[in-house]
Amino acid sequence: MAFEFKFPDVGEGIVEGEIRRWLVKEGDRVKPDQPLVEVETDKALVELPAPRAGTILKIHAREGETIKVGQVVVVIGEPGEEEPGQPAPEAHPESVTVVGALDEAPVEFQAQQRAASVHHVHPPRVRAIPSVRKLAKELGVNLARLKGTGIDGRVRREDVLKAAEEQKAKRPAVSAPAAAPSVKPEETVERLPMSRLRRTIAQAMVQSAFTAPHVTSHDEVEITRLLEIVRRERPQAEAQGARLTLLPFVVKAVVAGLTAEPYLNAELDMAAGEIVLKKRYHIGVATDTAEGLIVPVVRDADRKTILELAREIAALTEKAKSRTASLGEVTGSTFTITNYGAIGGYLGTPIINPPEVAILGLGRAQEKPVARDGQVVIRPVLPLSLSFDHRLIDGATAQRFLTVVMVRLEDPDLLLLEL
């Protein structure tokens, strides 16, 4: 009997996913653990491996289709094997009712009935998204007469526009008063489908913005000494396979701040009326990708050296950008850092990554006038923006956290003493 491979429970409360790309086709021979298909969940892009060797007998979900946990995705077996749950062909049974068996209608009568029923069959439903249907209505195009060029015969926007142009060309020219030039529908807007990742981001941001009362504190720290260390040690770090930047030092400074102010490394359980203090330091690093913001997680950041952090951050962000990060690598953060300074931003008001209660934003470091020993000097300054959940964290607590972080960034030797 062939084997039905069902979409497994991948954890983190995920109940469905979207088929992004099939890596095999029906008739292919596969080995155990060979990747079969890429599925995009709310958290990550995951590959489902083959649970056993065999031949792909049937693919039950198309690319772009949403599948639920427990739904059959593919059937694996040997050629000629039947799918589980598929009954073998059998002779037509006698019609049976509560009052006994009924004689089957003569074959001639059944044929007449089938012929008569043809007149009552509904025409197949046209496959088209709402915006295409609306456009067809506006342009006077009959969708039922179009042959769609999309997947499974789906009528696309281009099909409607082409049909409208053909109809216009067939109409006889009629003189009419000059009218104001109209804007073609295709020039006004463009509608793009939201990816599952973008929908997930949107839902999380709405949840965060309308659940946690956000407050943002801004500050600046001079990083002359820190930049000197980064520039001096960068060649040695590269020789050990690590690209040294400011971010590993910021992660270490954040861990020191969370240790001093544990309420920022916490979660609120409003249903139970409890504050959940996290005893481990898993730092999320918000990463800009082509499909949206992904937050890979540096686990146990307190136990790692600066070079270890540099290597791990580089590897995780690369995986996030290529959508190859595993589910475990993009979940479970206890505090998040977002570095919009990397693309030129200076100050921001970051939105908390739920269920966390705070997030630190890093702006673009730049030289500014600074007072030192009664003199105005030019020094590199790093802007910091801390957003926090005011239900749990007060302004004084937030500022104490920021002060711990700033002291260590201004004097990075303190970080080296804490390793």
Residue in 60, 214, 218, 390 annotated catalytic: 390
Q: Which two tokens stand for residue 386?
A: 């801390």
> What is d(CA 264, CA 266) in angstroms, rounded to the nearest whole number?
6
Phi, psi angles (nearest 5°) of residue 42 = -65, -20
Question: Could you tell me the sign of the dihedral formed by the alpha carbons of 159, 165, 169, 173, in that order?
Answer: positive
Q: Which of 355, 291, 300 is nearest to 324 (CA)?
A: 291
Residue showing tokens 């029923």: 117
- Beta strand 358-362 with 335-338 is parallel
Distance from the first to the final alpha carbon of the chain? 58
> What is d(CA 103, CA 5) in angstroms, rounded to the nearest whole number?
42
> What is d(CA 334, CA 81) in angstroms, rounded to the nearest whole number?
49
Residues 6+ apart with CB under 8 A from 259: 281, 302
Contact (CB, 8 A) for 363 and 348: yes
Residue type, 91: A
Residue showing tokens 């934003």: 361
The verdict on whether 282 is a catalytic residue reads no
Contact (CB, 8 A) for 359 and 338: yes
Rg of the chain over all Cα atoms, to the nearest angstrom:
31
- In the 8-state DSSP scheme, what is residue 153? G
Contact (CB, 8 A) for 131 and 193: no
Cite the active site residues: 390
